[in-house]
Structure 1
Amino acid sequence: MPITSTILDVALDRPDQLALVGTEDQLSYGELVEDSRVSFAVVDSLHRAQPEPPTPAVETRGIPITAVSTASAFFTARLIAGLAGFRAVSATIDPRWPLDHQIGVIRTTGIGLVISDSPALAEALSDTGWTGTVISPAAFAAREDRVRRQGAQAPAPAVRPASEPFLMLFSSGTTSNPKAFIKTRQQYRDNVAVSSAHLEPLPGVATLAPGPVSYSLTLYAIIESLATGGSVHVADAFDPFTIGSRIAAESITRIVAVPAVVKALAEAADRSRERFRGLELVVTGGANLPASIRSALAAVLPDTRLISYYGAAEIGFIGDSRDGDGTWIHVYPTIGAQIRDESGAEVAEGELGTLWIDAAACSDGYVAGTTDAVLRGPDGWASVDDQGRIVNGLLQLAGRAGDIAVTGGHKVSLPEVERAFDTVPHLGEVVAIALEDANLGSVIALVIEGGAEAEPAADGSPGLPAGKAALLEHARARLAPQFVPRRIYVLERLPRTVGGKIRRSETVDIIMSGQGHRL
C-alpha cells in the first residue's frame, strides 16, 4: 500500500481530512499534496545549485539525499511525507547525536542537503571540505514562501517505481557510529502491509506519535498512518500536562509510543481519566514492556488495549505481544523466524541463540562505508544479532549479543535478570551486568539506581525500599539459579544515552572503578 497513492486518493476524495497535525500547525490531505510540490521545488533547486555536489551512496542509485536534523516533529514529518512522491531519498538525523557521528554519516553516505538549525554542524561540515548545503528550517520555509508567491511549484507528486530507494535510515548513533541502510518503496509497502494487518492504523483513525521523527518507531507511525488514510498527530516530546486535552480535542483514539511514554501516559490518565476515555489502542515498541506498565495502564484505562510489538528498523515488523511483559512474541504469519548457533545451524527448541528473520520488508544490507556488518546471510535471512529462544512457536527475546553472559558454563540473558525485578515496588531502574570472575568466567551483578523514595543508608549511600536479602529472595523465586545475581550494587544515577536507554557497558566501567556501593 504505497504512501503516495493513498495520499493522492484521499486528497481527491476527502481533501479536508487531516493528514498531519502538530501542536501549532496542521495539513489536510489536500494541503499536503500542494505543500509537497513547494517543498520538493526548494529541495530540488538547492541540490541543483551545488557546483560540486556530494556523490550519494551507490545504494541510492544516484538519487540525491536530503536529511532533516531538527527537533521539530511537524517540520520533519511534512518533509518526509512531501518528498515521498518525488525522485528523492530522505533521511532523519537525530540532532542529539554527538557532532562527529552526525558529520560521519553525512560524509560517508553522500548526503547532499541538510536542513538543520545547528550552526555548529554547518561550521563543522564546512571545515571538512564537504560540498553539500546546510540550510536552517527558517531559511527553508522562507524559500518555500517565495516559491508559493512565484507559482514555481514542482509537478504534482506521483507514485514512484517499487524498486526505487525511498528512505535512508540509521541504527542508533548515541553511543557508536550509526549504520546506514536503505528502504526501497516496495520494502516500505511490505512493511505497511504487515503493520496494517496487526497494529490497526486504520483509515480515518487519529494516531498520536509523540517524540523525535528520527526514532524509527515515530517515523513508522507517520508513514503507516498516511499510507492507510489516517491522521497522524505529532509532538516534539511527550507532555503529560497537555496530552489529555489533545486526546480529547483532536479525537485521538490510537497512540504509538515507546514504553517510557506509555508509563507517563498511565500516570497522566490517573490524574484526569475523563480526557482519556476515547483512547482505544496503545501500540508500543522499541523495548520489552515491563508488566508493571501494562498493569498501570489497565488500572486507569481498562477499556484501552495495549499491543507491544517487536521489530528491527532494518528488517521491519516481526511480531507482537498482547499480555504480560512483552517477552513472549507471537511472530506474524508472513514472517519466518529461526534461532541459530554461532555456526549458523538451527538450535534445539528452548535453547538460546541468535535470531534470524525472513521478511519481505527487510533492507538489502547496510550502506558501504558506514559499517562492515552483514545484515543478510547467503540464504537471504537477516539478523541484527538479537538473542532469543523459541518455545511452542513463541519467540522469547533475550537481548543483543552483548546482553548474553556466560557464567559457570551457563548462558544468562541479562535483560531476563532485569525483568525479574520489575515487580519490586518502588525499586526504580535496574541494570544487570557481567563482571569478570577467575572461577566462573563472569558473575552476574545487579546495579540499582538509588530512588528518591528510599531513605539513605547509614553511610550516606543511596537507600533502597528493599534490603539485599529480600531482593535475592525475590530473584530466587523467579529465576533459574545461574540467573540470580551474586552481587548487588547501588548507583545514585545510572548512565544513559541521550534517548534515555541505560548504558550497560558504561555501568560495568563505573562499577569496576569502585564508584558503586555494594550491598
Structure 2
Amino acid sequence: MPFLDRLQHWAALQPDANAVTIGAERLSYAELRDRASMRARELVAQSSGGPTVLCRPNGLDFVVDFVAAVAGTGSVAVLDPGWPALQRSAVERMLRDAAASSPPDTPPAPADLRDGPPDSLFLYGFTSGTTALPKAFTRSRDSWQRAFSASSAWFDIGADDRVLAPGPLSASLTLYALAETLSAGAAFHTLPHFDVGDALDSVAHAAVTRIVAVPTALRLLGERGLSNAVDGSALTGIVSAGARLDGATLARVRTWAPRATVYDYYGAAELSFVTARRLDPGEHRTASPTAVGRPFPGVEVRVLDDAGQASAPGVTGTICVRSRLVSAGYAWGDDGSAFARVAGDHGGEWCTVGDQGHLDEAGELHFAGRRADMIVTSGHNVYPQEVEATLLSGLGVSPGSAVAQVVVTGVADARRGTLLVAAVLEEGSPDAPALTRSDLRTAAADLAAPKRPRGYYRLSELPLTGAGKISRRLLAAWITEGDPRVDRLD
C-alpha cells in the first residue's frame, strides 16, 4: 500500500493516537498496525493468486482488510456491496480469469506491513461502463504516493486534523480520504452508513476539523447544521468532489462553517486530480458557474479539437491531462468511451476520459460535461452539466434561495429521439412562492435554443446513487414511470 511505511511511522511515534473511528468503534494507530499485520499473514496463507476481493459495508473490518490486502506486493479489488448479486459474481469471475491468465513471475513473499515496489499494482477500482459489467481500472503504488504528497500540501492536512468522510468506503473519494488521512498521521472518521444526524453529531462531539464529501452530502450537512444549530465554526477545511460544487451548496456551507477553507476539485477515478480551487474564509467566488479551477500541482491540462489540435481559448474540445497521478489503464471493459491515451502522442503521456470543456484566457478550465452524459436531441449534442449550471445561475443561488438543485436529463421522445428536461428541488421558507415553468424558461433564456429544456419538473427528493451522486438515469426512469417523487410543471 502506498502509505504503509507512513502507517508504521505513526504507529511508532503516536501509538495511542486515534487512527480510525467508524460509529462507536475505534482503532488507534498501534491497534491498526497490529491487526492489519496479523490479517496480512492470514491473507497470504489463503491466497490463490490475484487480488483480494473486498466487498464490505463501512466498518473496522473493511479498513483492516484493505490495509492488510495490499501489504508488500499484494493488491485489492474494492467492490460496491450494493451491487446486485449477479453483477458481483461477474466481476469476481473476471478477477479470477485475469489472475489465471497472468500468473505472477514469483510466488508472493511473506506478508510484511510495508510498501511494495512503486511501479507495482495495488488497486482494482471500478467505474460504470456501457454494459452492466463495470470497467476495472488499476493503479500503481507510485500514483497514490505522488498524489498524497501533492494533496496533503494543497489541502493543508496535518497530523492534528480529524477528518470526516461520511460516504461509503467502496467509493474512490472516501477510500482515498482514508488513505490520505492515515498517510498524514491524522484521525479518520466515517459512519456505518450515511446519516446526516450522525455526521453532525461527529462534528459536534468528535472535534472534527475537516469534511470530505460530495456536494449533495455537504448541502444536507450545511442545511441541517444551520436549522439544528449545530456549530460548524470549528471546521477549518471542507473538501468537495465527485460533482460540481454549485453556488447554493457553497453558500450554505460557508454560512454554517464560516472559518473553513473550502476546496473543490475536478477529476476522474482514472485520472485522479485534474484541477482544483481554494476559497479562503471571507473570500467570494465570482467565476463562471462552469469554471473548475486551474491545474492541480504536477498536472498539465490542454483541450484538443477533433483533429487533435489545441483548441483556442473559449472553444470546447476534449480535456486531456499529463501527470504522474493517472491510473495504469483498464484490466477489462475498455469500451473506448473512457480512459485512453491521446492519439498521436507517441510518448503516451497525455490521457483523457473524454470529458469536454474549454480553457479561458486566464488558463482556468471550464467543464462542459462528460461525454458519457451527453444528450443528443434533435441532432444536437447537449451536456446536462452546462444546462444545470446556467439554470442555477439564472434562478439565483444566494443564501436562503428556494433552489437547492437542478438536474437535467433526457427521456425518450418519438419526434426528437430524446427530449431534454430539467427537474428542480426547492427548499426554503414555506411562505416563499413556488417556482413556475415561466421562471425556469426565463432562467434558460441565456442558453442556445437546442440546449433549452422542453419539459420542467419539481422534485420531492434528489435521484441519488448509493455513493450520494446525482443519477440522471434514475431521474429519467422516475419521469418515464410516473414516480410520485417527480411532478410535471405546467
> With structure 1 as the length reference, what TM-score do the two structures score?
0.78
With over 3 angstroms needed to count, the CA separation of the structure-2 counterparts of 1:385 and 1:112, relative to structure 1, is: closer
3-state SS, counterpart of residue 169 of structure 1:
strand
Question: Which of 501-510 and 96-105 deviates more?
Answer: 501-510
Match in the other structure for 2:299: 335
- What code does the residue aligned with 1:375 have? A
Partner deviation per Cα, 1:124-143 (whole Å, 9 max, x = no partner): xxxxxxxxxxxxxxxxxxxx
Match in the other structure for 1:85: 71
Spell out the pairing of 1:129-148 with structure 2 (5 A cutoff). Answer: none
Question: Which of 225-234 and 502-511 deviates more?
Answer: 502-511
The separation in 2 between residues aligned to 1:247 and 1:484, in whole angstroms, is 41
With over 3 angstroms needed to count, the CA separation of the structure-2 counterparts of 1:416 and 1:84, relative to structure 1, is: same
**Given the alignment, which residue of 89, 107, 110 partners 2:96?**
110
The separation in 1 between residues aligned to 2:224 and 2:212, in whole angstroms, is 16
Match in the other structure for 1:395: 365
Match in the other structure for 2:16: 16
Match in the other structure for 1:310: 266
Aligned sequence identity (%): 29
Bigger-Rg structure (1/2) = 1
**Aligned partners of 1:67 and 1:111 also within 8 Å:** no
- What code does the residue aligned with 2:11 have? A
Match in the other structure for 2:120: 164
Q: Does 1:358 pair with 2:334?
A: no
Spell out the pairing of 1:397-412 with structure 2 (5 A cutoff). Answer: 397-405=367-375, 411-412=381-382
**Given the alignment, which residue of 267, 270, 275 partners 2:226?**
270
**Aligned partners of 2:266 and 2:292 also within 8 Å:** no
Partner deviation per Cα, 1:436-463 (whole Å, 9 max, x = no partner): 88998876432446989999xxxxxxxx
Question: Which of 262-271 and 423-432 deviates more?
Answer: 423-432
What displacement does 1:340 show?
Answer: 2.0
What displacement does 1:494 show?
Answer: 7.0
The separation in 1 between residues aligned to 2:305 and 2:67, in whole angstroms, is 41
3-state SS, counterpart of residue 329 of structure 2:
coil
What displacement does 1:172 show?
Answer: 3.9
What displacement does 1:487 show?
Answer: 3.5
What displacement does 1:86 show?
Answer: 2.8
What displacement does 1:3 show?
Answer: 0.5
Match in the other structure for 1:504: 472
With over 3 angstroms needed to count, the CA separation of the structure-2 counterparts of 1:309 and 1:214, relative to structure 1, is: same
The separation in 1 between residues aligned to 2:380 and 2:441, in whole angstroms, is 19
**Given the alignment, which residue of 83, 86, 89 partners 1:100?**
86
Match in the other structure for 2:340: 375
**Aligned partners of 2:209 and 2:234 also within 8 Å:** yes
**Aligned partners of 1:387 and 1:401 also within 8 Å:** yes
- What code does the residue aligned with 1:232 have? F
Match in the other structure for 1:346: 310
**Aligned partners of 1:282 and 1:307 also within 8 Å:** yes
**Aligned partners of 1:109 and 1:370 also within 8 Å:** no
3-state SS, counterpart of residue 352 of structure 2:
coil
Superposition CA RMSD, Å: 3.4
Match in the other structure for 2:51: 65
What displacement does 1:490 show?
Answer: 5.2
Q: Does 1:295 pair with 2:251?
A: yes
The separation in 2 between residues aligned to 1:342 and 1:266, in whole angstroms, is 42
Question: Which of 388-397 and 72-81 deviates more?
Answer: 72-81
The separation in 2 between residues aligned to 1:386 and 1:483, in whole angstroms, is 18
The separation in 1 between residues aligned to 2:24 and 2:321, in whole angstroms, is 41
Question: Which of 269-278 and 303-312 deviates more?
Answer: 269-278
> With structure 2 as the length reference, what TM-score do the two structures score?
0.82
**Aligned partners of 2:166 and 2:194 also within 8 Å:** yes
3-state SS, counterpart of residue 43 of structure 2:
helix
Match in the other structure for 2:174: 218
Which sections of structure 1, spanning at least 5 residues, go unmatched? 48-52, 54-62, 114-153, 456-463
- Alignment length (residue pairs): 457
**Aligned partners of 1:67 and 1:92 also within 8 Å:** yes
- What code does the residue aligned with 2:314 have? G
**Aligned partners of 1:33 and 1:156 also within 8 Å:** no
What displacement does 1:432 show?
Answer: 2.2
**Aligned partners of 1:316 and 1:359 also within 8 Å:** no
The separation in 2 between residues aligned to 1:270 and 1:454, in whole angstroms, is 17
- What code does the residue aligned with 1:360 have? R
**Aligned partners of 2:138 and 2:327 also within 8 Å:** yes
- What code does the residue aligned with 1:82 have? A
What displacement does 1:186 show?
Answer: 0.7
With over 3 angstroms needed to count, the CA separation of the structure-2 counterparts of 1:289 and 1:369, relative to structure 1, is: closer
Which sections of structure 2, spanning at least 5 residues, go unmatched? 100-109, 279-284
The separation in 2 between residues aligned to 1:109 and 1:500, in whole angstroms, is 27
With over 3 angstroms needed to count, the CA separation of the structure-2 counterparts of 1:492 and 1:196, relative to structure 1, is: closer
